[in-house]
A and B are shown apart, each in its own frame.
Chain A
Amino acid sequence: MSRKLKDKLLNGLIWLSAAFSVGILITIVAFIFSNGWSKISWDFLTNDYESQTQYVNVTSDQSYTAPGSLPRDAVFSENLGIAIEPNENGYEVAWIDDNSPVKDAKNNAEEAFPIKVGYQLEQINGEGANLKIKAGTNAEDLINALDASDELMIKVVSPGGGIFPMIVSTLMLILVALLFSAPVGILAAIYMVEYAKPGKLVNLIRFATEVLSGIPSVVYGLFGMLIFVNTLKLGMSILSGGLTLMILLLPTMMRTTEEALKAVPMSYREASYGLGANKIQTLSKVVLPSAIPGILVGVILSIGRTIGESAALLFTIGTFAKLPINPTSGNLSLFETGTSLTVRAYVEVKESGNVEMAAAIGIVILVIVFTLNMISRLISKKFSKANY
């Protein structure tokens, strides 16, 4: 084959490979967006996953006035301070006064179950009120039932199919993982760059870090399940997941912080010592502040990793699509189980083959991850422009 032909062939292969790589990205993103787009809506982001039907008790103690603007066919209950509008199955809550008693509604087990906007009202019971709400129910009958008594028992149905619990769990998980891994990673990096002398100890630490970064996440999941869920009896919880991630993220945090610290010129440190500062003062007032952009990039990388992690979380955080709430107090708790967006996407496909749901979650994940990626790139650019 002539050289010119060979060169043309190689050139063609090179362009083809690049086109393939970019093409893959476009294909996957297009796949995720096209399959999941139909599910995306504000409700999708804010609704609970499971639709719940509950009988709740509401106690009213004052009268409420309607707000200035209400949806066109909405009706207002002065007793409870809520506006209700009709939908295809009956009536749903459209607006709730800030002080409305429905916010303190409790079910028969004394658990908090506040009624929220979007909930379907199905039945109202109380003194003088006994109404089953259907599609054709008269609005006046509804208001009379709601205003009939100070003590009402209402059957409500909360809408499902939303990913709000996963969003909350993921945020809590990120917080816990960062809270534990960032300080340890940064402090460790400071030691490696500012204090350590070349020798056996440093080599050991570096070797350990390399081993940690080579361990597959499924092994982290196994270890996390053994230590945090079982041995330390934390159970499947945000905390277990966060602690598992702490170890997983450590090499990343250490490496990026080390790079950031190394990029601070020695002259800064020397000038600081020359002015009479000691090591701690130099570190805290001169070196660290200059290294902040690099450390931030490490933090963002860790956030991205946390969001994308699944194998290490499957059995440390759990797969239940619920808010990590303590059932009696109704407060968010780190000791409760929830599941992250990514883990849930996996479960959706594995258990029900629901590609649409997984893709919809995928859209949310991709938007977050790509935004993080862009932010970190902007920081890096600004960082490198800094005149040293």
Chain B
Amino acid sequence: MKKDMTLNRKRVFLEKFFHVLFLLAALFAVISVALIIIFIFGKGLAPFFPNNQFGTYNFIDFITGLQWTPQSGQYGIGYMIISSILATLGAIVIGVPIALLTSVFIAEVAPKPLANIVRPAVELLAAIPSVLYGVFGFAVITPLVKQISPNPSGDSLLAVIVVLTIMILPTIVAVVETSIRAVPQSYKEGSLALGASKMQTIFKVVLPAAKSGILTGVILGVGRAIGETMAVILVAGNPESGIPHTIFDRVRLLTTNIALEQGYAAELHEQMLFSTAVILFIFIMVINLVLSRIQKKAGDR
């Protein structure tokens, strides 16, 4: 009897122990996010408050400034914000339709054996590291852009948009294709029975039914585009100032700004890089929230 009781107590202890262990592991995610936010915001917001050990900088100047020259104390990321927005917009405007149509192809139009080739092919695109896209852009895209560009160099907003478009394709296709396939057969059958053609069914019944999945795909695509660094750093040009007036102008993005100078920035300069990260962070959060709100509205139908 006594032996049974100690055995039982041991088991109870073990159960409790593992429960706590699993809980701690799950909380690790929360702790990591908290740490990341604390450190990045801590270091990034410091220059905008008085008594910063490396000097104070005006936040409005930071956000709207069109020049980034650390040597002379200029830290304006306004032009980078605009460039990032333009690049992402361009990639979405071109990439989403292509991704949509490709998903339609895989899910609805293609004969089964062909679909089984195209689907893995698009998945493979997602597996290619972003640096290799950058190398491709550097060696193939920028020379092409240079040929049609009035500017001396091929590094341009256009090159960035092209590379970003290619990169977000697989991300969007993966999500959209799944949600197209999730549309109930009865919707399609009903539409066809009413006399609609295949194309009409796809564009007027299936796609609207897959709206929420499509929006998810767009959200993921936007997130990928605005956060991409290595693929575009080799084709962007990264000038120290200047809003792009044409698609052939060189651009510096929020992300490339951080990656380029991270190695040697010190003191105020380093803090400013963290500030850039803070702005990037806020941007992504805002975009996610806005798009989620739209998605909820669309889903409520």
Contacts and interface: CB of A to CB of B under 8 A. Distances in A.
Given A21-B102, A223-B39, A216 B280 contact: yes
Contacts of B29: 188, 205, 208-209, 212, 250-251, 254
A215 B101 contact: no
Interface string A293-324: 00000000000100111110011000000000
Contacts of A208: 29-30, 32-34
Interface string A167-187: 000000000000000011111
A111 to B, nearest CB: 28
Interface string A203-223: 011001101101111110111
Given A10-B203, A32-B136, A214 B284 contact: yes
Contact of A345 (B124, B131, B227, B274): B131
Interface stretch (A73-81, A151-159, A262-270, A365-373): A365-373
Contacts of A307: 129
A18 B106 contact: yes
Contacts, number: 240
B46 to A, nearest CB: 13
A61 interface: no
A218 B255 contact: yes
A15 interface: yes
B132 A21 contact: no
Given A216-B227, A226-B43, A369-B128, A188 B173 contact: no
B32 A212 contact: yes
B contacts with A: majority SS: helix
A188 B28 contact: yes
Interface stretch (A93-101, A121-129, A191-199, A330-338): A191-199
A7 interface: yes
Interface in A273-293: 278-280
A280 B229 contact: no
A65 interface: no
Contacts of B89: none
A21 B173 contact: yes
A10 B200 CA distance: 10
Contacts of B198: 7
Interface stretch (A42-50, A52-60, A140-148, A354-362): A354-362
Interface string A15-49: 11110111011011001100100000000000000
A373 B127 contact: yes
A309 B229 CA distance: 11
Nearest to A202: B26
Most buried by B among A11, A184, A218: A218
Given A184-B28, A218-B258, A18 B23 contact: no
A11 B262 contact: no
B127 A304 contact: yes
Contacts of B22: 187-188, 190-191, 194-195
A314 B233 CA distance: 13
B26 A349 contact: no
Given A18-B102, A21-B169, A227-B39, A6 B199 contact: yes
Contacts of B131: 308, 310, 342-343, 345-346, 358
B134 A11 contact: no
Interface residues of B, number: 85
A13 interface: yes
A379 interface: no
A233 interface: no
Interface string B243-269: 000000000000100110011000000
A44 B22 CA distance: 45
A29 to B, nearest CB: 8
B111 to A, nearest CB: 12
Contacts of B23: 191, 195
Interface in B14-57: 14-15, 18-19, 21-30, 32-36, 39-40, 43
A6 B117 CA distance: 27
A11 B199 contact: yes
A3 B299 CA distance: 30
Contact of B277 (A186, A212, A222): A222
B258 A31 contact: no
B153 to A, nearest CB: 13
A13 B101 contact: yes
Given A31-B140, A195-B23, A315 B263 contact: yes
B130 A31 contact: no
B139 interface: yes
Interface string B234-246: 1000000000000
B30 A205 contact: yes
A205 B34 CA distance: 11
Nearest to A218: B229
Given A188-B29, A221-B259, A215 B281 contact: yes
B36 A215 contact: yes
B68 interface: no
Interface string B110-143: 1000000110111111011111111110111000
B98 interface: yes
Given A21-B98, A187-B22, 6 more contacts: A10-B199, A190-B22, A204-B30, A218-B227, A218-B259, A222-B40
20 contacts: A3-B197, A11-B199, A14-B104, A21-B102, A24-B169, A31-B140, A35-B139, A187-B25, A190-B22, A204-B30, A208-B32, A215-B227, A218-B258, A221-B259, A222-B273, A222-B277, A223-B36, A223-B40, A304-B127, A366-B132
Interface of B: 11, 14-15, 18-19, 21-30, 32-36, 39-40, 43, 97-102, 104-106, 109-110, 117-118, 120-125, 127-136, 138-140, 166, 169, 173, 197-200, 202-203, 223, 226-230, 233-234, 255, 258-259, 262-263, 273-274, 277, 280-281, 284-285, 288
The 6 closest A-B CB pairs, nearest first, are: A216-B227, A308-B129, A187-B25, A17-B101, A191-B22, A18-B105
